[in-house]
Amino acid sequence: MQYIPIKTRIMNPPKDDLFAVLDESLTSLREGDVVVISSKVVAINEGRCVTESDFDSTKHNQEKADVIIPRSNWNSPLTIINNVMVGNSGVDRSNSNGYVTMLPAEPFVSAREIYNFLIKKFALKNLGVIIADSHSVPCRYGAMGVAISFWGIHPLQNHIGKEDLFGRKIKVERSNLVDGITAGATVVMGEVAECMPVVIVRDVPNVEFVDADCKDELFCSFEDDVFNVLYERFLS
pLDDT tens, position by position, 107-135: 999 999 999 999 999 999 999 999 999 99
pLDDT tens, position by position, 160-193: 888 888 889 888 788 999 999 999 999 999 989 8
What whole-number distance in Å separates Cα of residue 229 and Cα of residue 232?
A: 5
User: Higher confidence at residue 83 or residue 236?
Assistant: 83
Question: In Å, how far from its chain's centre is CA 111?
Answer: 10
pLDDT > 90? residue 75: no
pTM for the whole structure: 0.95
Contact criterion met (CB below 8 Å) for 208 and 32? no
Per-residue pLDDT, 143: 92
Angle, in degrees to the nearest 10, between helices 107-122 and 18-25: 30
The domains located in the chain, with CATH, are: 2-47+103-219 (3.30.1330.100)
